[in-house]
Amino acid sequence: MRALGAARRLQPCLQSCLRPSGLGGCAEPEAVSRQHIASTALQDHSSSSSSSSSGNPAALLPPTPWPVRHRALHSVGARQSAAALAEAAPEQQEPDQQQQQETIPDPAASAALDAASAANSSAATALSGMAAMLSSVDPFLAGIEAREGPVVEYKEQRLKGLYRRDERQELTITRIQRVYDELKQAKGGDRTLRRGRGLTLVDASSPSDDGGGGGGWLSGWFGGGGRAESSATGSTGVKGLYMYGGVGVGKTMLMDLLAKTAPPYFQLERTHFHDFMIEVHTRLRHHAHQADPLAQVANGIADRVSVLCLDEFFVTDVADAMILHRLFGRLWDRGLVLVATSNRHPDALYEGGLQRTLFLPFIQRLKDQCEVHDMDSRTDYRKLASHHRGLYFVTPSREKDLYERFLELVNGRPVGRDHAEVAMGRKLEMPRSGGCATMFTFDELCSRPLGAADYIALANAKHTLALSGVPVFTANNRTSAYRFVTLVDVLYEHRVRFLCSAEAMPFELFENIRTQQEARAAAGGAAAGGSGNSSGGRHSAGGFGGAGSSLEVVDDNLGFAKDRTISRLTEMQSEEYLRAHAKAHAPELLLAMAERKARQ
């Protein structure tokens, strides 16, 4: 009877999606609706089958097997096999039916059971046809044959409607699955040194990991003792993956699917490039009195990590550039597999940097060790998020409005001076702090010699930051622009709630920043337009000759980074980001946010 009720509830949905005349109107149904219908029918069918198992199992057998574990859609071959099986066993079903008639003498109960069986079979047949239709609508999902790994997780999220269909993401997830499959084949028989794995290094570290001195949550990585035996020793023969492309195209999201699905014996760690390099420099200081500190640091990493996932690979610091070749050269010699995301092609890393010729060998080795994959896409998914007003102030009263909002978030607590502990024994003074919120002026955070380590300490100390007086960036505050980019990266990674008052909207803050290619195009347009065209001739006076605006900056590193910063500033004002912030730092806010959304 449950199955009969389920069939009646499903009948309107199935008719609206499967009627021939209506296919044009629902040829692209929402994935979440498909998943809901399918899962509801499966639950009802399962309960009805179990309740009627003592009656006629053969009559209740669905015409098509449904592989629930992998949530795969039906194939035509599977349906044909099931039909052939049903036709091949008619003689086995008849004795069961006779036995059922003997054990159930009540004609009314028998009729009800037959009706339920017929309804159950009809619903299962209809769902089988709908699943086949959905497979044909999305050939990429239908062609997935893997039973585990990131591509399976990606498929499930697509069927739930959480991910959109994107050809570049589909191509990228197959590259990531290739890394997964090769790692499993290379390390499948190796179960030594299994340890916890998380999406961040904080999650994966263990209190029992003693690095032999020095603090930091990566201290377990760089233990000062002798080497432990590890499967990282020697080459695995697995080629890594370097994904580059524009902002908001899903690079980090897809890399995290690898981190989420990797078994413990992969020895995978995932972190941000900023955090990784800060800990490397910290451990270099710890081993400063040894013969080869960099070799000690590299060995400490390779002893514990086989797969390293680095987000936002972006080199601007000369100190980082000078050690990357030796550091990763030793890691690759020890068999480490690198999976990285970046906004730039390897050939464009550290472009225009000091002593870049010393950095070029690292670029060549990186391209040898990793498949370089272009994830260029026209879609920035962060900008699809609905905007949440009230955190980014640009009106004439912006400073006053920002301070009033800051006091609201302090929630009556006293505002005073505080400090955050920074790596390597320093302290960052916080002049205006209350509760879990702090407030700085732009000059206090971005016009002083501060860096990623200071901003990470700030993000760990407070989950809400108010920043006042963000200017439009020009040649006069170029260094401050670099620090602002780093600050936004750190706040975004740590899901910090960010309020600011600024002279302009995010995309206008960087309107004077150009890459060399943009400057050449502007200069070429001005030359083609002649002296009478004054609208297209703006370019940096230091770049390509001619009289340009002294406010403009031609800088490839800053020019490429600005797109990421604009995208993140935009997303950080969205409801989705604030929900992620609340989940990470203040779960008590989630209910209030849900109630407010329900009232809107």
> Secondary structure of 284-297 in the HEC alphabet?
HHHCCCCCCHHHHH
| Residue 389 CB neighbour total at 10 angstroms | 7
Question: Residue 118 has what pLDDT?
Answer: 63
Q: Tokens 């809400």 — which residue? A: 464
- The angle formed by the CA atoms of residues 116, 118 and 121, to the nearest 5 degrees, is 105
Would you tell me how many other CB atoms lie within 10 Å of the CB of residue 69?
7
| Contact status, residue 116 vs residue 4, Cβ threshold 8 Å | yes
User: Which three-class secondary structure state does DSSP give residue 198?
Assistant: coil
Instruction: Report the candidate in 344, 361, 309, 41 with the shortest Cα–Cα distance to residue 176.
Output: 309
Residue 229: how many CB atoms within 10 A of its CB?
9
**Pairing of β 427-434 and β 416-421:** antiparallel
Supply the angle between the helices 478-493 and 273-286 in degrees, to the nearest 10: 100
Q: What is the mean pLDDT of each run of 10 residues along the chain (600 residues)?
A: 52 47 37 42 44 41 35 34 44 45 52 60 52 61 90 90 84 96 82 40 36 40 39 67 89 94 95 93 92 94 96 90 94 96 93 90 96 81 52 92 91 91 91 95 96 95 96 95 96 95 94 89 66 39 44 89 92 90 84 69
Q: Which residues pair with 339 in a beta bridge?
A: 241, 309
CB 187 within 8 A of CB 235: no
Terminal Cα-to-Cα distance of the chain (whole angstroms): 41
Q: For residues 195 and 220, what is the distance between their CA atoms, to the nearest angstrom?
A: 12
Q: What are phi and psi of 469, to 5 degrees?
A: 80, 35
> What are the tokens at 477?
């505050």
Q: Which token pair is 332?
A: 């690759």
Other CB atoms within a 10 A radius of the CB of residue 476 amount to: 12
Cα gap 325→330, rounded to integer Å: 9
Alpha-carbon gap, residue 406 to 501, rounded angstroms:
11
In sequence order, which ranges of 438-587 are alpha helices (DSSP H)? 442-446, 452-461, 478-493, 506-509, 516-529, 556-571, 575-585
| Residues contacting 463, CB < 8 A, separation 6+ | 436, 437, 494, 495, 496, 497, 581, 584, 585, 586
pLDDT reported for residue 188: 73
- 10's tokens: 């499903």
**Running DSSP on this structure, what letter comes out for residue 541?**
T
Q: What number of residues does the chain have?
A: 600
| Dihedral of the alpha carbons of 30, 35, 38, 40, in degrees to the nearest 10 | -110
pTM here is 0.56
Calculate ∠ Cα 497-500-505, nearest 5°: 115
